[in-house]
Amino acid sequence: NLQSSKTLSNGVEMPRFGLGVYKMTDHEETLQSIDTALKVGYRAIDTASLYGNEAEVGEAIRHSGVPREHIFVTTKVWNNDQGYDETLRAFEVSLKKLNMDYVDLYLTHWAVPETFEETYRAIERLYDEKLIRATGVSNHHEHHLEKILAKVNIAPMVNQVEMHPYLQQQALSAFCHEHQIAVTAWSPLGRGGVLDDSTIVEIGKEIGKSAAQVVLRWHLQNDTLIIPKSVTPSRIAENAQIFDFELTQTQMDKIASLNSNQRFGQDPDHFKFDF
């Protein structure tokens, strides 16, 4: 069911499915989208200080009638706020905007080469202080994680990376699972760019599901957590209808064969950290 969750390495339950709110900039539209999502059963919201909508996320949750502790809120520290003290300060700002007294998961948004290790140390401290329920990172390759794992007391519990049928990240995913790091796919639908794929459309026809539902179900069956984005109420509902069917091994294999290492976003090793 929609509340299906993954147990993180510290025992916290993280919903396998949530709403991503990147590029939701219009105040009303953001409130409406989150409200729709919570009404149809979503229980996780993925935001970031970069997205400029933490205030709307907090407001929509407070007005939803769903108790705060039933919703899993993720936010992220942006690149120009990285560093130990800087991250602690950035977290305080995020918490104020959300108007909450804790966050479920706090992530380093990108591995800025000079500062990502210190940034994660600050996230560890926030965890020790019980201001966040789980620690994590985003856009970290194996070599970034190895550096972090060598130093810290608390391993990151989540790594959120670009992942979809054209960028399957099998090696990174295996590395994470080996280290009990849950993997969340950002752009799980390839920003919509994988939905016209004839193989995926064909599988959808076989089972009477949309291309988006096929792709999201494929992620779930790979043990990947997902945060698809939509502001269209019918799509928000459609994207959640993925717990009542199963792809066969043949269908899973067909999708596995679509990998082309094609990114719709930036490669963490070549991110333009221009600030």
SS (H, E, C) the chain: CCCCEEECCCCCEEECECEECCCCCCHHHHHHHHHHHHHCCCCEEECCHHHCCHHHHHHHHHHHCCCHHHCEEEEEECHHHCCHHHHHHHHHHHHHHHCCCCEEEEEECCCCCCCHHHHHHHHHHHHHCCCEEEEEEECCCHHHHHHHHHHCCCCCCEEEEECECCECCHHHHHHHHHCCCEEEEECCCHHHCCCCCHHHHHHHHHHCCCHHHHHHHHHHHCCCEECCCCCCHHHHHHHHCCCCCCCCHHHHHHHHCCCCCCCCCCCHHHCCCCC
Closest separation between CB of residue 24 and ligand NAD, Å?
A: 8
Q: Which of 77, 13, 11, 9 is nearest to 43 (CA)?
A: 13
Determine if 22 is a binding residue for ligand NAD (CB under 6 A): yes
Q: What is the residue whose two structure tokens read 């400029």? A: 52
Is residue 51 flagged as an active site residue? Answer: yes
Closest separation between CB of residue 228 and ligand NAD, Å?
A: 4
Q: Which of 134, 146, 18 is nearest to 76 (CA)?
A: 134
Q: One symbol per residue from 70 to 109: x for binding ligand NAD (CB under 6 A), - otherwise; what is it? A: ---------------------------------------x
Q: Which is nearer to ligand NAD, 173 or 187 (CB)?
A: 187
Closest separation between CB of residue 237 and ligand NAD, Å?
A: 9
Please say whether the dihedral angle defined by the alpha carbons of residues 175, 178, 182 and 183, taken in this order, is positive or negative.
positive
Q: Which is nearer to ligand NAD, 6 or 150 (CB)?
A: 6
> How big is the site for ligand NAD, counted in residues (CB under 6 A)?
26
Q: Hey, how many other C-beta atoms are within 10 angstroms of the C-beta on 69? A: 9
Closest separation between CB of residue 85 and ligand NAD, Å?
A: 23
Catalytic residue among 42, 51, 120, 127: 51
| Among residues 181, 212, 214, 225, the one that binds ligand NAD under rule CB under 6 A | 212
Q: Which is nearer to ligand NAD, 83 or 188 (CB)?
A: 188
Q: Which is nearer to ligand NAD, 111 or 122 (CB)?
A: 111
Determine if 37 is a binding residue for ligand NAD (CB under 6 A): no
Determine if 21 is a binding residue for ligand NAD (CB under 6 A): yes
Q: Which of residues 217-236 bind ligand NAD (CB under 6 A)?
A: 227-230, 235
- Segment near ligand NAD (CB under 6 A), from 16-24, 82-90, 98-106, 114-122? 16-24
| Among residues 30, 36, 139, 224, the one that binds ligand NAD under rule CB under 6 A | 139
3-state secondary structure of 132: strand
Determine if 53 is a binding residue for ligand NAD (CB under 6 A): no
Closest separation between CB of residue 30 and ligand NAD, Å?
A: 11
Determine if 195 is a binding residue for ligand NAD (CB under 6 A): yes
Binding footprint of ligand NAD on the chain (CB under 6 A): 20-22, 46, 109, 138-139, 160, 186-192, 195, 210, 212, 227-230, 235, 238-239, 265
Report, as residue numbers or ranges, the catalytic residues.
51
